[in-house]
A and B are shown apart, each in its own frame.
Chain A
Amino acid sequence: MSDKKTNIIEISDLNKWYGDFHALKNINLDIKEGEIIVVCGPSGSGKSTLIRCVNFLEKFQEGSILVSGTELTDDAQKIRKIRSEVAMVFQHFNLFPHLTIVDNLTLAPIWVHNETKQEAREKALKLLDRVGIKDQAEKYPNQLSGGQQQRVAIARSLCTNPKIMLFDEPTSALDPEMISEVLDVMIELANEGITMICVTHEMGFARKVANRIIFMDDGQIVEENDPDNFFTNAESDRLQIFLDQILTH
């Protein structure tokens, strides 16, 4: 990776507590533009908390996060600015059930980015075409399968032309036969050069597209490596145990 690319996310000395529970411990992480980062680790290790801090869905108590040069603070204006550049895909899709698929997609462009209904709709249909569900545009979310819903969710987050995509276990709630259709869309995105942080257990995906894989345990970054070395040369015991657990089946 060339060092000429600028850091789009800079996380320094990040600490977060839920009450007394120390959820994130001294996280330092710089992410360059266009990088694909996969975050993995046992459940409760703080992976989701970390990426939810990046678009301020979770508040943190110490440290700083810079997203394309803007520091995350309580300021509502700044938060909205950052959220328009950072899109998020959730484990449970979180589509809006009372709106049709196309209305789900056009909501943010119309209300946050002041696009006209016509523009927003055209773009939405284009994106739906890209994730392969243009023909479902007028249906409601509950009428779609899990895999289709997650693809809609990805299209929805792309609608605002984000620079950074956060994926919070996007395939964990899916039936096994639907995982690949979502991963295919994600791989396609990765190849287009958007910056991505994915919390996922799909190690095949990680091996294929990640620039770096980060292993977290107990609220800390334990190990960080490129995919080739990550799977073959684990330095810490904790990673080795984790890899043994998920790769043996």
Chain B
Amino acid sequence: MPVFDQQETRKPPISQIGAVLWLKTNLFSSWINSVLTLASLYLLYILIPPLLNWMVFDASFSFGTVNFFGFEIKFSEEMATNDNCGRVGACWPYIYEKLYMYTYGFYPRTETWRPNIVFGLTALLFVIVPLVKNYKYKNRVTLSLIILYPLISYVLIAGGFGILTPVDTDQWGGLLLTLIIASVGIIVSFPIGVLLALGRQSNLKVIKLFSTLFIEFIRAVPLITILFMASFVLPLFLESGNYFDKLLRALIGIALFQAAYFAEVVRGGLQAIPRGQYEAADAIGLSYLQKNVLIILPQALKISIPNIVGSSISLFKDTTLVLIIGLFDMLAMVNLTSNDPYWLGREPEGFVFVTMVMWAILYTMSRYSRKLELRFNTENKN
């Protein structure tokens, strides 16, 4: 029998690695690909420079107040009289001036520390949750956070209870309102969605029928319709004495809307669980509730994380629709603030700003979910 010499390991040929190869395989692999690459480059060339000019090079950045013979002159007045912002580039002082409106709406200026604490708590929550991962009492900590966080936030923002000055919901606005609507919508709708998903899989025909009808009805209707219904139609059915808050009505509408979508997402997860898991849970004598809480839902929800986050991101974007029923969220502030006589026609700056804030929040959310997913996955990888 022949004996072979051991072969030496070599590096690949120089033409098969590095930047040249990357360009060749990714951008110029065929003539169609080459044409597309060049077309894209041209598109970027005609779009990016004007945008950069408007946003950065021709834009005005002169922030701050001006001291004029000992008088502090308000920024906007100075701008308006000198018109030194011009119309060529973006006028970022407008955002600086209206930042308060974009963040808090009409929230009383003396009480801003309250929303600020809530913002801080929210950020803290995202930091704490991964940290307690290996802590012995992580379940208890997480549970108490889930209960305490909304309570504390509500007391701080709404005030009342004899401790803090009450702030009417009419005065909530801007990013604060956007975050409130989105987080309440997501937190409230999630458990309802899980119940609906289980209901739709139930053997009890009445529950199954109700869940299916609810989900299919809501999913067949646009969110705007539901918001209109909640805002204008619902009060017609209620006696005048039962009038309740406009924001609350919108929140109920949004929560029910989102619950139907979560239900479908979770149902997808439930269907991915093999029948053997149900049978094994049955065979060891678990009750229906135990089976779902201990065996089925942990697995189903884990599979559904990407879709749950995707659905939450859609909801976050959909919250901007509340402006049509007269709630002033961050997007609504664009029109409102550029009606200010000193800042007429500054919508483009507003839209760009809101876009950037939205993007920052949602991109963070999707990165965070990706991390969450990876963390859960490592638990049972080889």
* A residues apposed to B, CB below 8 Å: 55, 57, 76, 80, 83-84, 87-88, 90, 92, 94-98, 107-108, 111-112, 140-143, 156-157, 160
CA distance A76 to B290 in the complex (A): 14
Residues of B within 8 A of A141 (CB): 380
CA distance A98 to B298 in the complex (A): 8
B299, CB-defined interface residue at 8 Å: yes
A112 vs chain B, min Cβ distance (A): 4
Q: Are A57 and B287 in contact (CB under 8 A)?
A: no
B276 vs chain A, min Cβ distance (A): 4
B139 vs chain A, min Cβ distance (A): 13
Q: Are A80 and B379 in contact (CB under 8 A)?
A: no
Q: Are A55 and B283 in contact (CB under 8 A)?
A: yes
Number of A-B contacts (CB under 8 A): 66
Residues of B within 8 A of A111 (CB): 286, 290, 294
Q: Show 12 A/B contacts (Cβ-Cβ < 8 Å), sorted by A.
A: A57-B282, A83-B284, A88-B280, A90-B279, A96-B277, A96-B280, A98-B380, A112-B290, A140-B380, A141-B380, A142-B381, A160-B285
Q: Are B282 and A83 in contact (CB under 8 A)?
A: yes
- Residue from the set B277, B283, B295, B302 with the largest chain A CB neighbour count within 10 Å: B283
B7, CB-defined interface residue at 8 Å: no
Q: Are A112 and B380 in contact (CB under 8 A)?
A: no
User: Apart from A57-B282, A84-B285, what are 18 other A-B pairs with CB-CB below 8 Å?
Assistant: A55-B283, A57-B279, A80-B285, A80-B287, A90-B280, A92-B274, A92-B276, A96-B277, A96-B281, A97-B299, A98-B299, A98-B379, A107-B286, A111-B290, A142-B381, A143-B380, A143-B382, A160-B284
Q: Give the interface size class of chain B.
A: 20 to 34
* B residues apposed to A, CB below 8 Å: 274, 276-277, 279-287, 290, 294-295, 298-299, 302, 379-382
A94 vs chain B, min Cβ distance (A): 4
Q: Which 4 A-B pairs have the closest CB atoms?
A: A94-B280, A94-B276, A140-B380, A108-B284
Q: A55-B283, A111-B290, A140-B379 are in contact. Are A90 and B302 (CB under 8 A)?
A: no
Nearest CB in chain B to that of A139: its residue: B380
Nearest CB in chain B to that of A85: its residue: B285
CA distance A84 to B276 in the complex (A): 18
Residue of A76, A112, A142 touching B284 (CB-CB under 8 A):
A112
Residues of B within 8 A of A160 (CB): 284-285
CA distance A94 to B278 in the complex (A): 9
CA distance A247 to B184 in the complex (A): 67
Q: Are B277 and A94 in contact (CB under 8 A)?
A: yes
B239 vs chain A, min Cβ distance (A): 43
Q: Are A107 and B287 in contact (CB under 8 A)?
A: no
Residues of A within 8 A of B283 (CB): 55, 57, 83, 87-88, 90, 157
Q: Are B285 and A142 in contact (CB under 8 A)?
A: no
Q: Are B280 and A112 in contact (CB under 8 A)?
A: no
Residue of A87, A88, A112, A157 touching B286 (CB-CB under 8 A):
A112
B344 vs chain A, min Cβ distance (A): 58
Q: A57-B279, A142-B382 are in contact. Are A98 and B284 (CB under 8 A)?
A: no
A109 vs chain B, min Cβ distance (A): 9
CA distance A31 to B212 in the complex (A): 45
Residues of B within 8 A of A96 (CB): 277, 280-281, 295, 299
Residues of B within 8 A of A92 (CB): 274, 276
Residues of A within 8 A of B284 (CB): 83, 87, 107-108, 112, 156-157, 160
CA distance A57 to B299 in the complex (A): 21
Residues of A within 8 A of B276 (CB): 90, 92, 94
CA distance A235 to B299 in the complex (A): 50
Residues of B within 8 A of A90 (CB): 276, 279-280, 283
Residues of A within 8 A of B302 (CB): 98
Residues of A within 8 A of B286 (CB): 107-108, 111-112
CA distance A157 to B298 in the complex (A): 22
Residues of A within 8 A of B274 (CB): 92, 94
A78 vs chain B, min Cβ distance (A): 12
Residues of A within 8 A of B298 (CB): 98
B133 vs chain A, min Cβ distance (A): 15
